[in-house]
Amino acid sequence: MGQGSITRRYRFCAAHRLHTDHLSAEENRVVFGKCNNPNGHGHNYVVLVTIGGPGAARAGQTMDLDALDRVVAERIVSRFDHRDLNQDPEFAVRTTTGENLVLLIWDLLVTQVPGGQLKKVAVIETRDNYFEYTGSASVAARS
Ligand code: NI
């Protein structure tokens, strides 16, 4: 059976610094390069949220988009926009890489989107960097 989906685009601006206390200062510089600059740097992040899938097919439609917009505004944009990601409690023990950011956004949204309709979260960090996560649903749930 085919599955439809819809992707909504959101934006926030935030600062971060790639750094981990698990490495020495020199190792941090080697691993993260200029992203380890002590003064940090900013990105205009784009978040792509895709909903759809089996839950949507049974319900006859995907989640109301106004409701999705509210969830993303409350859970994601207001949390990160014009903030320093390194100061977010969830990043106290994790580096603010795009991989970790997309995982955190997934975790913040997955309980808010009904019926397992959250299919994919993607984060565009720079012109050339794109991260995505499709969750941990079983193969059966996606077929
Ligand atoms: Ni960066």
Gap from CA of 88 to ligand 1 centroid (Å): 15
Ordered per-residue pLDDT tens for the chain, 143 residues: 567 889 999 999 999 999 999 999 999 999 999 999 999 999 999 999 999 876 565 656 667 899 999 999 999 999 999 999 999 999 998 999 999 999 999 999 999 998 889 999 999 999 999 999 998 754 444 33
Gap from CA of 44 to ligand 1 centroid (Å): 10
Determine contact, residues 60/41, Cβ cutoff 8 Å: no
> β-strand 83-84 against 5-16: which pairing, if any?
parallel
13 included as an active-site residue: no
* Number of domains within the chain: 1
35, 90, 99, 132: the active-site residue: 35
Write out the two tokens for 4. Answer: 């439809």
125 included as an active-site residue: yes
13, 41, 74, 82: the active-site residue: 82
Gap from CA of 111 to ligand 1 centroid (Å): 28
Beta strands, E only, 69-134: 83-84, 118-124, 130-133
Parent domain of 98: 3-142
Determine contact, residues 72/49, Cβ cutoff 8 Å: yes
The domain that holds 119 is classified in CATH as: 3.30.479.10
- Give the span between the Cα atoms of 3 and 48, in whole angstroms: 18
Q: Which residues, 6 or more positions from 127, have their beta carbon under 8 angstroms from its beta carbon? A: none
